[in-house]
Structure 1
């Protein structure tokens, strides 16, 4: 089992300067390795019977492909030629090359997203991949070639876990470490059980559940945009690469970090609230990157629905609540009571079924349909009386939801309160 704990560290002035030098060295080595990779491909993409219109760096035919192991084995020779590399721990340099080739492998799998050169300040993290002993001693953490660094250990390391690796991250708010903890303990994953609810997310209201709970919409970027706008205007007036420009840039970065921290804190609290409501939660399997390309893309990105779904799964796994995904197609266009299609526009905020006369808020109806699909997707794991409970809480008889398919319209009638 692996756990990631994030702590804030407070390196002194000398350690901060050393970390900044390491990050810049890693950036240069990353770009050098990427340049070698691109030169090897450019020297072999030109046909043998004609020359390229642009100048290309020619490599010999027997020069091997600069793979991860090839570039990693060249690091000792590079340290002799560039003594600057000796100041960085060797394993940190190796993981930096590993990062490049992970991006290269990812590009080959999906066909786009070729690795790019890193500009000054774009490399903001470094990884210490392994430790022989526990580096955390009291309120300090021991890092290779850096020494003991003060750490805010706001929560202790659980018993039975060892420190697997440590990643140091630089943010505008300060320095952080992401500690990966490992244990042989295998915790069983939660299964569908108990009370089940469906969750539908949106922009007008952040989410609605099948039980009728509605969380008001939160716009984190919009509420903080006025301050960000002022800081960006000040930044635009500064001379680039000057000290004043760098100070103004850090203030803009701090404001972005502040917005991101507020959003993440809110989503964690909301995830815990949902896990306290039910034992099983069903969400849509929608790709929110597609929603972000529409005319409401800015608000969709601000809401961070994809991040919230990941947080909800993490919190649910931690608290023993099952979180499953269901098909998202047509959830807002289906009546959760009689399961027929009821077309609605975006401006229609009330669901009214002309067939069974079921009326409820549009988002709540979509959440109830999500719950129905979740129970159908995971059959035999929930009690049968849980199936109709999502419509029952809104005043509809639960049996109508499942008997309607075998009953004529004249015998069903309007749902009673």
Structure 2
């Protein structure tokens, strides 16, 4: 049986990398807010839902229109739509309030659903470099404090800002430990 664990490690981006990460967070927040407003507008006008496919099409148009979006990895931008979908699902299940526009202080993470290398040996959006640092072609190498072994298959990576510190949170799938005979 396998289990999914989240393992949190502190990362140490340079000032330039922090600026880039903050800018990416800002782009994701703006994309979230824009998609939320578009979804509300479409529903008000036609009583139809603004689907994830509609959002993806709009993102493609926006990337052509706004060159700064091309400087950002596409995975975190696409993951924004999953967040919005989850926000609506939670609202309709009565687990949360109606989705609101995100403020700067409330959008603090970037999710990379694919990590490492593909089956052809090519790097995905983010991976480990040869010297054990996190690597993204637009961000460069980022120092990471691996204070415990990272065991299992990495499913996704979230880069999170908490105050002035930054963290890498790996979702790892690994075999569950057998239950103890003592209990």
Q: TM-score, normalised by structure 2?
A: 0.83
More strand by share: 2
Unaligned runs of 5+ in 2: 118-122
The one of 130, 133, 136 aligned to 1:143: 136
Equivalence for 2:120: none
The one of 1, 12, 15 aligned to 1:13: 15
Aligned length: 172
Equivalence for 1:27: 29
Deviations 1:77-105 (A, max 9, x none): 11112222212211111001110111111
CA distance in 1, matches of 2:89, 2:73: 25
CA distance in 2, matches of 1:82, 1:101: 24
Equivalence for 1:360: none
Equivalence for 1:42: 44
2:161 pairs with 1:167: no
Equivalence for 2:55: 71
Equivalence for 1:334: none
CA distance in 2, matches of 1:68, 1:144: 27
Select the structure with the greater relative contact order (CA < 8 A; seq sep ≥ 6).
Answer: 2
Give, in angstroms, the shift of residue 5 of structure 1: 0.8
CA distance in 1, matches of 2:88, 2:156: 23
1:227-376 matched pairs, under 5 angstroms: 279=183
Unaligned runs of 5+ in 1: 46-63, 195-278, 280-417
| DSSP 3-state at the match of 1:110 | coil
CA distance in 2, matches of 1:27, 1:126: 10
1:139/1:152 contact within 8 Å kept: no
CA distance in 2, matches of 1:162, 1:111: 31
CA distance in 2, matches of 1:131, 1:105: 26
CA distance in 1, matches of 2:57, 2:137: 21
Identify if the C-alpha distance between structure 1 residues 122 and 28 changes in structure 2 by more than 3 Å, giving closer, same or farther.
same
2:91 pairs with 1:107: yes
Whichever of the two has the greater Rg, that structure is 1
1:139/1:153 contact within 8 Å kept: no
The one of 129, 150, 160 aligned to 1:157: 150
CA distance in 1, matches of 2:87, 2:93: 10
1:24/1:121 contact within 8 Å kept: no
Give, in angstroms, the shift of residue 186 of structure 1: 4.7
The one of 164, 167, 172 aligned to 1:181: 172
